[in-house]
Amino acid sequence: MKAWDAIVIGGGHNGLVNACYLQRAGLDVLVVEKNDWVGGAATSRELTPGFLYSNCSYVCSLFRPEIMRDLELPRFGLQVISYEGGAVFTRGGDYLANYRDHDAHRREFARFSRRDAEAYYRYSRDVTRQCRFIQPLLMRTAPDPTSFRPRDLGELLYLGKKFAGLSAEEMALTLRFWTMSISDFLDEYFETDVIKANFALSGIIGTALGPMSPGTAYVLLHHYMGEVDGSVGAWGYARGGMGAVTRALAASFQASGGTIRTGAEVDQVLVQRGKAKGIVLADGEEIYGKLVVSNADVKRTFLKLVEEKELPDIFLRRVKNFKIRGSSGKVNIALDSLPEFPALPKDSPVYRGDMHFTDSMERMERAYDDWKTGRWSADPFLDMVIPTTLDPTMAPPGKHFMSCFVQYAPPKVNGRDWTDADRDGFAESVISQIADYSPGFRDRIVHMEVRTPREIEAEVGLTEGNIFQGELTFDQLLFNRPVPGYAQYRSPVGGLYICGSSTHPGGGVMGAPGRNAAAEILRDLAKPNQHMSPAHDVI
């Protein structure tokens, strides 16, 4: 019976990144994926004829350029097309746009407040400083602060030195950044509500927090990190939808000799004497491997795939306590023509970027209040893009695909499971919001796919539909992610690793967890890891 060198459970982007690195390091790797396609939450699917849907993740923003280079993704077909603008529509019939051009951006802000237009310099300096401090941590394994191992002490020292290298003012800002709400943070720079809302959205996307919750300033950094080393196309569309990212990863993997099995749902991880020996598929087939890497989230991995008896109590308790509440949904729409927004000039680059309708901090926070009480937001926050304005391959000529990321949607509605009627109500909240700004919008809809946390969990396997495989609060970051004591991609089961967004540094189509996990695995195997570039310098 063949024993693979490594079996990766789940063909999401982190699973594939991990598999690619292991395969390139000389291991014989098998990726098993429950769906008939790979990609996890980074897929493109033709759900109605002629339209390709990026039906989960929809923007290529945080993907680490080092990984793109190592795995030769451009060679395997990945093209990223950058956003050209973005906007928040205001209820007064106007909008606040974000332009790539620095001076246009300032003049746009000055339409609302000259002070805010100029305050942007200090804001961007401070945010950049923080990103520069944190960004190098993305591609490093978090140290265990309770450990005396030389490597952990060394990493702690590295952190300490980095912190000590900051000026007193920067240190103070760092401390506050980790604990402040994005709302309070923005209040210190800006006076205009819509300008604050424009920035605050980066502090809430993907989280189960509102902009007034402490800790959301950090989430903003998480979303800004992609830009700090000047990666071109930091925020953009993958041509052909987000599936193009994972398709390129799969192609890269297969080109280096890796094997992918789709339609193979894993039922259990085989454990013998505390060591992972392979997996059992849902149909009972057993596949053996010298080690097993799970791309599934930490709850799914340890509460569903591994028998409880194999795990220490304290670990189980912590996994059970891991917070993974879903907070978002998706409404994907096929349109027979480009929607019009009367507020927006027809030649505006905003059409080719991200659009929003939440123009005040209060509306954003109220949307979150609904979530807290177990309802979807009556007046949701949307991150809406029309990728076909830049990538016509996703729809028939003249037609368009629109992706709406929607916050907030709770994992359960008033404590019970989502029903189809709930889902329709959720969709209606989105459609009616768009229609308020785009007359005739409903008539353009050809087909629509609505995904509440229920659908996201059922199809992608993300527990509670949480797109980051776990909330991004301090208690679940760095050495606490996913759980204290196991933040280094290993688990209490020998030979069983985790490589999904549940691990440091967290969610987004970044690839860092998959890469970092591969580094740890190769370290355990004492295998040379010459195909992995070091993290980019931040100088």
Residues 179-238 that bind another protein (CB under 8 A): 179-180, 184, 187-189, 209, 212-215
CA 113, 115, 118, 122 torsion-angle sign: negative
- Dihedral-angle region of residue 64 (phi above 0 means left; psi in -120 to 50 means alpha; beta otherwise): beta
CB 265 within 8 A of CB 282: yes
Options 111, 149, 151, 442; binder of another protein; rule CB under 8 A: 111
Q: Which is nearer to another protein, 269 or 498 (CB)?
A: 498
Options 34, 222, 300, 363; binder of another protein; rule CB under 8 A: 363
Residue with tokens 């109500």: 425
With vertex at residue 264, the alpha carbon angle to CA 13 and CA 457, rounded to the nearest 5 degrees, is: 60
Query: By C-alpha distance, which of 224, 235, 234, 226 is closest to 127?
Result: 224
> Is residue 442 close enough to count as binding another protein by CB under 8 A?
no
CB 234 within 8 A of CB 82: yes
Residue ranges in 55-167 assigned as alpha helix (H): 65-70, 102-110, 114-134, 150-164
Part of the chain binding another protein (CB under 8 A), chosen from 43-51, 127-135, 444-452, 513-521: 127-135
> Is residue 114 close enough to count as binding another protein by CB under 8 A?
yes
Q: Which is nearer to another protein, 365 or 455 (CB)?
A: 365
| Burial annotation 277-312 (CB, 10 A radius, 16+ → b, else e) | bbbebeeeeebebbbbbbbbbbbbbbbebbeeebbe
Rounded distance between C-alpha atoms, residue 317 and residue 309, angstroms: 13
Options 49, 150, 284, 342; binder of another protein; rule CB under 8 A: 342
> Is residue 530 close enough to count as binding another protein by CB under 8 A?
no
Give the type of residue at 396.
P
DSSP 451: E
Part of the chain binding another protein (CB under 8 A), chosen from 256-264, 391-399, 467-475, 523-531: 467-475
> Is residue 132 close enough to count as binding another protein by CB under 8 A?
yes
Supply the minimum distance, in Å, between the C-beta of residue 417 and another protein.
Answer: 20
Residue 268, helix vs strand vs coil: strand
Query: 169 Cβ partners below 8 Å, 6+ apart?
Result: none
- Using CB under 8 A as the criterion, what x/- string covers residues 138-157 for binding another protein? -------xx-----------
Rounded distance between C-alpha atoms, residue 507 and residue 205, angstroms: 11
Part of the chain binding another protein (CB under 8 A), chosen from 67-75, 265-273, 366-374, 518-526: 366-374
Options 47, 166, 280, 431; binder of another protein; rule CB under 8 A: 166
Pair of tokens at residue 246: 């994972």
Supply the minimum distance, in Å, between the C-beta of residue 133 and another protein.
Answer: 11
Supply the minimum distance, in Å, between the C-beta of residue 341 and another protein.
Answer: 11
Residues 293-322 that bind another protein (CB under 8 A): 314, 318, 321
Q: Which is nearer to another protein, 3 or 538 (CB)?
A: 538
> Is residue 436 close enough to count as binding another protein by CB under 8 A?
yes
Angle between helices 168-177 and 216-224 (to 10 degrees): 110
> Is residue 399 close enough to count as binding another protein by CB under 8 A?
no
- Dihedral-angle region of residue 463 (phi above 0 means left; psi in -120 to 50 means alpha; beta otherwise): beta
Supply the minimum distance, in Å, between the C-beta of residue 326 and another protein.
Answer: 15
Residues 500-529 that bind another protein (CB under 8 A): none
Options 33, 66, 70, 108; binder of another protein; rule CB under 8 A: 108
Supply the minimum distance, in Å, between the C-beta of residue 461 and another protein.
Answer: 24
Part of the chain binding another protein (CB under 8 A), chosen from 3-11, 47-55, 122-130, 257-265: 122-130
Pair of tokens at residue 251: 């192609």
Residues that bind another protein (rule: CB under 8 A) add up to a total of 83
Residues 57-96 that bind another protein (CB under 8 A): 85, 89-94
Residues 468-487 that bind another protein (CB under 8 A): 473-475, 479-480, 483-485
Supply the minimum distance, in Å, between the C-beta of residue 517 and another protein.
Answer: 21
> Is residue 130 close enough to count as binding another protein by CB under 8 A?
no
- Using CB under 8 A as the criterion, what x/- string covers residues 1-40 for binding another protein? ----------------------------------------
Give the type of residue at 256.
S
Rounded distance between C-alpha atoms, residue 439 and residue 432, angstroms: 10
Percent helix, strand, coil in the chain, to 5, is 40, 20, 40
Options 28, 227, 340, 369; binder of another protein; rule CB under 8 A: 369
CB 187 within 8 A of CB 180: no
